[in-house]
Amino acid sequence: MNRPDGNINTVANAITITGGSLVAKGLREGIDTPTGLALVAAGRAADLIDGPTARARHEDSDLGAILDASFDKVGCAAIAFSMYRKDIVPTPVFIGMATQNLANGVATAK
């Protein structure tokens, strides 16, 4: 059960922020480079453990859920845009990715 008060200083939130930071650093390195791709993959992998960590440590909160969802949506959109800019994905695929992220973001906000 989410607590509305939420503390930003939790292990789970640190994992979320670290994951987002790794994605950002990977995109600066270049998603089309081995280092950049590894950093992006590590950042996205962090998203697989932040939620279970929050629940296991009883750190789950509405604030943490909002933080996690925000980092997820922004990170995925940035990855899609970076792949589009590097000509890794064609325009229709990018539009599909962008539309899906936008729909997810709106649904999450609601």
Query: Residue 7: its pLDDT value, please?
Result: 74
- What pLDDT was estimated at residue 1? 45
Predicted pLDDT at 98: 85
Query: Quick one: pLDDT at residue 6?
Result: 62
Per-position b or e across 64-102, b if 16+ CB within 10 A of its CB: bbebbbebbbebbbbbbbbbbeeeebeeeebeebeeebe
pTM above threshold 0.95:
no
How many residues in total does the chain contain? 110
pLDDT score for 5: 56
Which residues of the chain are under the pLDDT cut of 70?
A: 1-6, 110
